[in-house]
Amino acid sequence: MEKCIDLSLLDGVLDEYASVKGSLITILQHTQDIYGYLPKEAIERISERTGIATSEIMGVGTFYTQFRFEPVGKYLIMLCQGTACHVNSSELILQTIKDELGIDDGQTTEDGLFSLKCVACLGCCSLSPVMMINEDTYGSLTPDKTKKILKELREAKG
């Protein structure tokens, strides 16, 4: 179920940057700030206004890991898969999240509440295994602790 996006939200960004050489990354960052991801329709509008081919825009967008092409849930779970986390059983935490939410890496729950992304390193090795949910960091995870965190977030959704 695809929803319509309001492309007029991009007008200010494009008015400011469309004619500025080398500003594509800035435009993409602002676009993602507005929509939470880079919708296809927005990429097409950026192409129209900047004269940059959509294929080139996609090339830049897919090169940088900061950009997303699908909407994410209210809670974006970034689960560390670095060496310290791996050694400290991050695979158990991943399996717990998959079992609890019914999603795999890169997916979002049907209710749009949670998205899961496995990342190479969060830089919190002393807290391993560790995950970030939006701006909050959760460390020394166990399956039970992980279930409790997810349950609390699910209940707080209202």
How far apart (Å, rounded) are the C-alpha atoms in residues 11 and 26? Answer: 14
pTM surpassing 0.85? no
How high is the pLDDT of residue 157? 62
In the predicted model, what is the mean pLDDT of residues 103-129? 94
- Percentage of the chain lying above the pLDDT 90 cut: 85
Can you tell me the mean pLDDT for 23-39?
Answer: 95
Location of each CATH 3.40.30.10 domain in the chain: 75-155
**Does domain 7-63 sit in CATH 1.10.1760?**
no
Measured CA to CA in angstroms, residue 132 lies from 31, 60, 75, 141 at distances of 23, 26, 10, 11
Distances in Å between the alpha carbon of 127 and those of 30, 94, 109?
A: 32, 16, 27
How far lies 153's CA from each of 116, 147, 156, in Å?
14, 10, 5
- Evaluate whether the domain defined by 75-155 bears CATH number 3.40.30.10: yes
pLDDT in tens, 42-87: 999 999 999 999 999 999 998 887 888 988 899 999 999 999 999 9
Q: According to CATH, where is 1.10.10 located in the chain?
A: 7-63
